[in-house]
Amino acid sequence: MDLVSGYKGVVGLVFGNENSAANEDSYVERVLDRISNGQIAEDRRAAMVELQSVVAESRAAQLAFGAMGFPVLMSVLKEERDDVEMVRGALETLVSALTPLDHAKGSRDEVQPALMNSDLLSRESDSISLLLSLLSEEDFYVRYYTLQLLTALLTSSPTRLQEAILSIPRGITRLMDMLMDREVIRNEALLLLTYLTREAEEIQKIVVFEGAFEKVFSIIKEEGGSDGGVVVQDCLELLNNLLRKNASNQVLLRETMGLDPLISILRSRGGNYSFTQQKTVNLLSALETINLLIMGDPKVDPGKDGNKLTNKTTLVQKKVLDYLLLLGVESQWAPVPVRCAALQCIGNLISEHPRNIDAIATKRLGDNVQEPALNSILRIILRTSSTQEFFAADYVFKCFCEKNSDGQTMLASTLIPQPQSMMYAPLEEDVNMSFGSMLLRSLTLSENNGDLETCCRAASVLSHVIKNNNQCKERVLKIKLEAPMSSLGDPEPLMHRMVKYLAVASSMKNRNGKSALNNNSYVQLIILKLLIIWLADCPGAVQCFLDSRPHLTYLLELVADSSVTVSMRGLAAVILGECVIYNKSSDHEKDAFSIVDTISQKVGLTSYFLKFDELQKSILFASKSSEPRKVLTRSTAASMAEIEDVDEDDPSSQKDEELPILSSVFDSHFINTVKKLEADVRESIVVIYSQPKSKVAVVPAELEQRKGETDGELKKHYQLTVFSPDLLGRNATLAEDLSKIGGNDSSSEQRASGPSNRVQLETLQRDLQETSKRLELLKEEKVKIESDASYYKNLASKMESDLKSLSDAYNSLEQANYHLEKEAKALKSGEHSISPDIEAIKAEAREEAQKESETELNDLLVCLGQEQSRVDRLSARLIELGEDVDKLLEGIGDDLGMPEDDEDED
């Protein structure tokens, strides 16, 4: 086995001292040698038992076995099928080699023998096929240990094993056949299939094709439904793996088996109080299955997901709503996690489904005294001691009111103030109250700590009733609450009472005398959310809010208060922005310009817009990214079955960002609404400052003409008022703030004492910089133009010189052509007077030639005379010397005779 060669010699470097590791190594080697080379069968079986024992107890032995043992045992499984005892021992040893030893757990940096061995075995191409073939053996323990071995491989190398099983013909079929085997084998096969079908779509399809639905529901029924043990949990987990994000499998289940077997699991059997932890987990798994059917595929447009709508319709037709209401609303003895999960299912079941919304609106609960189901859910919201249950029940109203204006109007129509005697009646009498009366009663309780919590929860429900429904907003605006005693004042609007509770929550003290603000922070956040929803696109609500001047003052203080959370400051800033963009008031003290002016003076526009940026970066808003839903498995079941409330005295839970339960209240829709409002607020404030009070017909009192004041005095009065230092300073500050709108620099400097000078100086500096840049550009353009001008000037001079030369040459050619044409004409006309006297010229030439010939002849004669005298002297000398002159001259004349003759002839 080549793969294990890299692991040899590692044992001594990892565990214990080197000698002991070497001993383990040599011991494992000897035992393996006995198994592979032994001649006596009993000795080989005994060696297998020894090997299994040491591998099950020692990590060093596991490591040594991984380095040298796999070829030996795989050979036993392949070639010794008839020896059942040896095959059993080999499988059991392999299971031990792949099982981590917790009691000898080392550091993270150390090699983990079990993982290493799993990796080695899964890499062998024939190992998985060999193990699957063992499932057809008749021996019970062979099949049992084989399934355990495959499960151990799957937990450490899931992807590799899934690919190997898919590549083996009838591999899944053999595993599915194990579901019909004896109970122990069935349970092991069920667990293996549960691991195998996670995130493996191809395997899911094959498993469903092999009849998984029928077999799973058969096992659940056999085990006793929700009252069964962990086997029911494994069955439901396998079922959820097959249905999660798989629309085709959901359709197949609905059209073959139907949804009745699933709904029957929710039916409570036996005593109502017998909720063991395992039954809780089983019910949670069944409720998760319901959720998977009604949540739909996230990749499909919700409005076009026909499979989801069909599942919702079918489930309600099968009376699943009754079982969910029984678990979530009526069975208060059920564990909190089950009640919360059932309420979540109810919300998902009615969300954007008109028929199901009508179904829950008409449901009535109770045996003797029946009341509407919505009233019972409202009572849970107002009375439960579990924060998680409050948010789960609140989610039902959120889904009921979403895109359901008729339902909102129906609920709002019941909001009728009750007499004081009813408002302060014992809580037990609220069974006889309408939905609106119960809600208003909770909204108007006294301001002690416990009642504030109830008011907050009621405010959350009210926000769903009026959301995106102006008719309901206006109706609720008309509600006037009487004071506890008529002598305490006139009735006040419900909105004013909500703002009052918002302020009270921040000023309350806890038992230690310290501020209880953080403990009530989510109370304030929910009331702030109610106000944001109420004021949105509702000028009447804005007017009602601004009717009390302290409201605006309190919000400004809340925005500027550094001791409150980032989310609270940001939401308060959103409400101030709504008072600007939805403000239709004609009162100059309450109009949009006045609100912006007040914000600028008290907070500063830069600081104000910074609150929006901080809100967007807060954990409450940043954590809205889609998080994968936590899957209920064996490892997570225990923690999900025991939900604990957030401890208000725990410092770690004293910030709203650290309350994950708020994610159901501050959902993505609300966050998108806040983001859109921020953009509208910025734009509106810029528009307001670009068109300040000039369009307002009302003249301020300080600018009105006084009695007896002349026009000149009035003009001078205007100038003093308009250009007063206070007004200039304030306008300069506003301009400075506007110039920084949208800035993110939280460490900006404080305003200078002379803001107008500062703004003017910055403006001049900016103009100077722009002018300098323009001047530099002009200089560069000038240099370039001068260079171009010089180039073109030189080019023009050169072209001019060339043109002059061409002109002269042309003139010369013209003159030559003229003479030639003139001569040609003369020759054609025969005019000899013009031609030269040829004979005269010849005579003159002959005469000049004769003169030249005579001169040359005379010169020749002189030369000849000189030569003759020289010859004579030479002859005389030769004679004196005794030479014969005639003999010497003999033949010389012959050579010269011809030229002399010719010359004589000439």
The domain ranges of the chain are: 535-641+660-691
Q: Alpha carbon of 20 to those of 14, 98, 678, 701: distances in Å?
A: 11, 22, 71, 101
pLDDT tens per residue across span 584-637: 888 888 888 899 989 988 898 889 989 988 988 887 776 554 445 667 777 776
CA separation for the pair 282, 789 (Å, rounded):
94
Least confident span in 23-32, 447-456, 502-511, 766-775: 502-511
Q: Alpha carbon of 535 to those of 341, 460, 513: distances in Å?
A: 33, 15, 35
Helix residue spans in 124-170 (DSSP H): 127-133, 140-156, 158-167
Q: In degrees, to the nearest 5, what angle opens at C-alpha 855 toward C-alphas 854 and 858?
A: 85
* Confidence check: pLDDT of 355 > 90: yes
Residue 227 backbone phi and psi in degrees, to 5: -80, 0
* Confidence check: pLDDT of 43 > 50: yes
Q: Which two tokens stand for residue 820?
A: 């030639």
pLDDT band with cut points at 50, 70 and 90 for residue 302: low
In the block, tokens 């004769």 appear at: 850
Among the listed residues 747, 752, 702, 703, the one whose alpha carbon sits nearest the alpha carbon of residue 732 = 752
pLDDT band with cut points at 50, 70 and 90 for residue 14: very low
Q: What is the mean pLDDT of residues 782-809?
A: 81
State how beta strands 371-372 and 364-365 pair.
Answer: antiparallel
Highest averaged pLDDT of the listed ranges 85-94, 150-159, 473-482, 666-675: 85-94
Instruction: Say how many Å lie between the first and final Cα of the chain, rounded.
Output: 131
Tally of CA atoms within 13 A in the half-sphere of 31 that contains its CB: 25
- Based on the number of CB atoms within 10 Å of its own CB, is 782 exposed (0-12), middle (13-18) or buried (19 or more)? exposed
pLDDT at position 752 = 36
* Residue 272 three-state SS: coil
pLDDT at position 13 = 38
CA separation for the pair 457, 428 (Å, rounded):
18
- Based on the number of CB atoms within 10 Å of its own CB, is 759 exposed (0-12), middle (13-18) or buried (19 or more)? buried
* Confidence check: pLDDT of 489 > 90: no
Question: Are 591 and 643 within 8 A, CB to CB?
Answer: no
Q: How far is CA 540 from the centre of its chain?
A: 38
Q: Please indicate whether residue 823 or residue 16 has the higher confidence score (pLDDT).
A: 823
pLDDT band with cut points at 50, 70 and 90 for residue 452: confident
Question: Are 64 and 11 within 8 A, CB to CB?
Answer: yes
CA separation for the pair 556, 214 (Å, rounded):
64
Question: Are 74 and 122 within 8 A, CB to CB?
Answer: no
pLDDT at position 558 = 92
- Based on the number of CB atoms within 10 Å of its own CB, is 151 exposed (0-12), middle (13-18) or buried (19 or more)? buried
Q: What is the mean pLDDT of residues 514-523?
A: 55
Q: Which two tokens stand for residue 475?
A: 């109706």
Least confident span in 41-55, 150-164, 398-412: 150-164
* Residue 509 three-state SS: strand
pLDDT at position 654 = 39
* Confidence check: pLDDT of 805 > 70: yes
Question: Are 172 and 210 within 8 A, CB to CB?
Answer: yes
Name the CA radius of gyration of the chain, rounded.
56
pLDDT at position 484 = 56
Q: What is the mean pLDDT of residues 685-701?
A: 58
Partners of 515 in beta bridges: 509
In the block, tokens 């949670």 appear at: 284
If you average pLDDT over every residue of the chain, what do you get? 79
State how beta strands 480-481 and 492-493 pair.
Answer: antiparallel
pLDDT band with cut points at 50, 70 and 90 for residue 889: low
* Confidence check: pLDDT of 576 > 60: yes
Question: Are 620 and 567 within 8 A, CB to CB?
Answer: yes
401 Cβ neighbours under 8 A, 6+ residues apart: 407, 408, 411, 464, 465, 467
Q: How far is CA 152 from the centre of its chain?
A: 36
Q: What is the mean pLDDT of residues 289-293?
A: 94
CA separation for the pair 689, 707 (Å, rounded):
33
Q: What is the mean pLDDT of residues 107-132?
A: 81
CA separation for the pair 521, 564 (Å, rounded):
8
Q: In degrees, to the nearest 5, what angle opens at C-alpha 310 toward C-alphas 306 and 312?
A: 120
Question: Are 582 and 531 within 8 A, CB to CB?
Answer: no
Least confident span in 489-493, 782-786, 829-833, 892-896: 892-896
Highest averaged pLDDT of the listed ranges 310-324, 707-721, 883-897: 310-324
Partners of 481 in beta bridges: 492
Least confident span in 56-60, 182-186, 347-351: 56-60
Q: Alpha carbon of 23 to those of 15, 57, 304: distances in Å?
A: 12, 15, 68
CA separation for the pair 835, 841 (Å, rounded):
12
Among the listed residues 750, 569, 599, the one whose alpha carbon sits nearest the alpha carbon of residue 684 = 599
pLDDT at position 866 = 77
Least confident span in 312-321, 769-778, 799-808: 769-778
* Confidence check: pLDDT of 844 > 60: yes
CATH class of 535-641+660-691: mainly alpha
Partners of 493 in beta bridges: 480
For the chain, the 3-state helix, strand and coil shares in percent, each to the nearest 5, are 75, 0, 25
Q: Helices 605-617 and 668-690: crossing angle, nearest 10°?
A: 160
**Which DSSP state fits 618?**
S
* Confidence check: pLDDT of 190 > 80: yes
pLDDT at position 519 = 47
Partners of 480 in beta bridges: 493
Q: In degrees, to the nearest 5, what angle opens at C-alpha 725 toward C-alphas 719 and 731?
A: 90
Residue 371 backbone phi and psi in degrees, to 5: -140, 160
Residue 803 backbone phi and psi in degrees, to 5: -65, -40
CA separation for the pair 62, 281 (Å, rounded):
36
Partners of 492 in beta bridges: 481
CA separation for the pair 378, 566 (Å, rounded):
30
Tally of CA atoms within 13 A in the half-sphere of 804 that contains its CB: 5
pLDDT at position 265 = 92
- Based on the number of CB atoms within 10 Å of its own CB, is 325 exposed (0-12), middle (13-18) or buried (19 or more)? buried
**Which DSSP state fits 515?**
B
pLDDT band with cut points at 50, 70 and 90 for residue 661: low
Question: Are 571 and 612 within 8 A, CB to CB?
Answer: no
pLDDT tens per residue across span 735-753: 555 545 544 444 333 333 3
Partners of 387 in beta bridges: none
For residue 480, the surrounding DSSP H or E stretch is strand 480-481
* Residue 434 three-state SS: coil
Q: Please indicate whether residue 527 or residue 522 has the higher confidence score (pLDDT).
A: 527
Among the listed residues 511, 518, 515, the one whose alpha carbon sits nearest the alpha carbon of residue 651 = 518
CA separation for the pair 201, 207 (Å, rounded):
10
Q: How far is CA 739 from the centre of its chain?
A: 31
CA separation for the pair 436, 413 (Å, rounded):
8
Least confident span in 145-154, 510-519, 766-775, 890-899: 510-519
pLDDT at position 760 = 55
The pTM of the full predicted model, rounded to 2 decimals, is 0.73
CA separation for the pair 199, 196 (Å, rounded):
8
596 Cβ neighbours under 8 A, 6+ residues apart: 580, 605, 685, 688, 689
178 Cβ neighbours under 8 A, 6+ residues apart: 135, 143, 147, 185, 186, 188, 189
Q: Please indicate whether residue 266 or residue 125 has the higher confidence score (pLDDT).
A: 266
pLDDT band with cut points at 50, 70 and 90 for residue 95: very high
Question: Are 490 and 471 within 8 A, CB to CB?
Answer: no
Q: In degrees, to the nearest 5, what angle opens at C-alpha 71 toward C-alphas 66 and 76?
A: 120
CA separation for the pair 599, 120 (Å, rounded):
70
Q: Alpha carbon of 92 to those of 45, 71, 175, 254: distances in Å?
A: 13, 15, 19, 42
pLDDT at position 725 = 53
Helix residue spans in 603-667 (DSSP H): 605-617, 619-622, 634-640
Among the listed residues 518, 601, 500, 519, the one whose alpha carbon sits nearest the alpha carbon of residue 560 = 601
CA separation for the pair 31, 29 (Å, rounded):
6
Tally of CA atoms within 13 A in the half-sphere of 223 that contains its CB: 25
